[in-house]
């Protein structure tokens, strides 16, 4: 893959149609993932594993599927970890470059910081949105309307945790209210965290300070009557930024609710994925759908699944049960322990006979004593 440095200004509009090959994606991957703590203490949100694959791989696959191969990661938190996981993008079929912030610049500042790496049209993605949105249809909508900025919108029952977007005639954005309070709710359409922006608009973002796309940049477009449209998609969509949603995203992937070309490592056998080098006692059972990471060991009489994700090099003790649980790498689960609907980060140790229940999130290296009971 080539690493295009610069694009002719308006290549994406040549002949009226949009050419996705001349579009650059900027993925906002610089947040601290505070709502996903303690998982994000040692692993930044953009690369938390979903079915043992770093989250960003799903976004890169979506971009690639829609013909977008030129991608910039806008980073500021745990940059070296992100770089180590994603590299130059070759493995994911894209050319990946990095725009690194010295201090966090916010969601608009992070895009501004990538300005020298982008061409005529920019696709901005929040780095925590799992979706199978039809970006091709969104690009066509943008071109047809002669829009300067287009937001992908989705519908949710409660917009208070999101950016509420009210549309006017022809799909023009009329109001944008970030994290509205309950009295401000006039619609169920929210900002789904994917934008198409003409590059020239980036000049509106002041340099060298924190700028929010939601609280400053979008309201500025409205005030100046820039052609600014909302495109309502009817696709799978989830912000994975809280433990419950991070787990939900994986249950949805396991259930086939998300159209993606990413698949976990290994072979699909009986509805579950098993990576290489797994040592399974003949009396161990795996219930579909589940994912077992490379080099994991499953002891006699243990049961993994349904809906379990076991990271690489885990050890599941004899008679233990792991169900609906997301378990990262090198976790040791004692004999007859039970893990249900919880999340366990790397290298945690679960004592024999312990019970870890719904909603529990264990940080990396956590030690649960034998026979302990945590959660529901
Ligand atoms: N580069 C960079 N620098 N990225 C940042 C920074 C920063 O200073 N701050 C946040 N980000 C990234 C995060 O990593 C994340 O991928 C994205 O920007 C959005 O930040 P969140 O903290 O996840 O925002 P949110 O979920 O509360 O709200 C946003 O997403 C909603 C949809 O999920 C808003 O865009 C809402 O309007 C939207 O509805
Ligand atoms: Mg978010």
Q: Is 214 in the pocket of ligand 1 (CB under 6 A)?
A: yes
What φ, ψ does residue 249 adopt, rounded to 5°? -55, -40
pLDDT above 60: residue 188: yes
Does the pLDDT of residue 330 top 60, yes or no?
yes
Side-chain half-sphere CA neighbours of 351 within 13 A: 10
What percent of the chain clears pLDDT 70, i.e. is strictly above it? 95
Give, as residue ranges, everything with CB less than 5 Å from ion ligand 2.
Answer: 128, 239, 241
Does 105 sit in the ligand 1 pocket, CB within 6 Å? yes
User: Is 50 exceeded by the pLDDT of residue 7?
Assistant: no
What does the pLDDT look like over 107-131, one tens digit per residue? 999 999 999 999 889 999 999 999 9
Does the Cβ of 216 fall within 6 Å of ligand 1?
no
pLDDT one-digit tens code per residue, 224-235: 999 999 999 889
First CA to last CA across the chain, in angstroms?
Answer: 50
What is the 3 state secondary structure string of 29-74?
CCCCCHHHCCHHHCCCHHHCEECCEEHHHHHHHHHHHCCCCEEEEE
Task: Note the pLDDT of residue 267.
Answer: 84
Tokens 């340099």 sit at which residue? 207
* Atom number of ligand 1 nearest to Cα 74: 1
Q: What is the greatest pairwise CA distance in the chain?
A: 69
d(CA 309, CA 273): 9
Helix H or strand E encompassing 244 = helix 243-254
- pLDDT tens-digit profile of 165-183? 999 999 999 999 999 999 9
- The closest ligand to the CA of 193 turns out to be 1
**Is the Cβ atom of 159 under 6 angstroms away from ligand 1?**
no
| Mean of the per-residue pLDDT values of the chain | 93
- Give me ligand 2 centre to Cα 45, in Å: 10
pLDDT, residue 17, reads 55
Ligand 1 and 162: CB distance under 6 A = yes
CA of residue 171 relative to chain centroid, distance: 27
User: Which distant-in-sequence residues (6+ apart) come within 8 Å of 203 by Cβ?
Assistant: none
Alpha-carbon distance of 273 to 193, in angstroms, equals: 30
Number of neighbouring beta carbons within 10 Å of residue 32: 15
Please tell me if the CB atom of residue 129 comes closer than 6 angstroms to any atom of ligand 1: yes
Q: For residue 183, what are its two tokens? A: 């009295």
pTM: 0.93
> How far is CA 108 from each of CA 57, 125, 210, 213, 271, rounded to the nearest angstrom?
23, 11, 8, 4, 42
């Amino acid at each position: 893959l080539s690493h295009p440095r610069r694009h002719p200004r308006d290549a994406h509009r040549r002949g009226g149609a949009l050419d996705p090959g001349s579009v650059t994606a900027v993925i906002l991957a610089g947040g601290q993932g505070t709502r996903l703590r303690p998982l994000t203490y040692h692993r930044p949100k953009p690369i938390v594993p979903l079915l043992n694959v770093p989250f960003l791989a799903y976004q890169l696959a979506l971009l690639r599927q829609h013909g977008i191969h030129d991608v910039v990661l806008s980073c500021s938190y745990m940059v070296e970890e992100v770089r180590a996981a994603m590299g130059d993008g070759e493995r994911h079929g894209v050319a990946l470059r990095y725009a690194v912030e010295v201090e966090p610049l916010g969601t608009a500042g992070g895009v501004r910081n990538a300005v020298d790496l982008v061409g005529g049209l920019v696709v901005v993605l929040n780095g925590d949105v799992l979706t199978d949105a039809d970006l091709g249809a969104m690009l066509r909508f943008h071109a047809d309307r002669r829009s300067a900025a287009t937001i992908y919108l989705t519908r949710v029952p409660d917009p208070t945790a999101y950016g509420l977007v009210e549309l006017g005639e022809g799909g023009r954005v009329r109001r944008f209210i970030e994290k509205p309070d309950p009295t401000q709710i006039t619609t169920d359409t929210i900002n789904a965290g994917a934008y198409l922006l003409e590059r020239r608009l980036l000049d509106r973002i002041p340099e060298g300070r924190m700028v929010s796309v939601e609280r400053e940049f979008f309201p500025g477009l409205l005030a100046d009557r820039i052609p600014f449209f909302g495109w309502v998609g009817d696709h799978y969509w989830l912000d994975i930024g809280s433990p419950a949603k991070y787990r939900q995203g994986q249950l949805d992937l396991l259930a086939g609710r998300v159209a993606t070309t990413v698949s976990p490592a290994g072979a699909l056998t009986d509805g579950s994925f098993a990576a290489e080098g797994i040592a399974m006692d003949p009396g161990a059972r795996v219930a579909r759908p589940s994912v077992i990471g490379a080099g994991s060991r499953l002891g006699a009489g243990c049961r993994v699944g349904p809906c379990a994700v076991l990271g690489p090099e885990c050890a599941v003790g004899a008679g233990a049960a792991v169900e609906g649980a997301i378990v990262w790498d090198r976790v040791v689960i004692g004999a007859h322990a039970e893990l249900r609907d919880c999340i366990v980060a790397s290298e945690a140790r679960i004592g024999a006979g312990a019970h870890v229940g719904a909603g529990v999130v264990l940080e990396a290296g956590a030690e649960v004593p034998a026979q302990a009971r945590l959660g529901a």
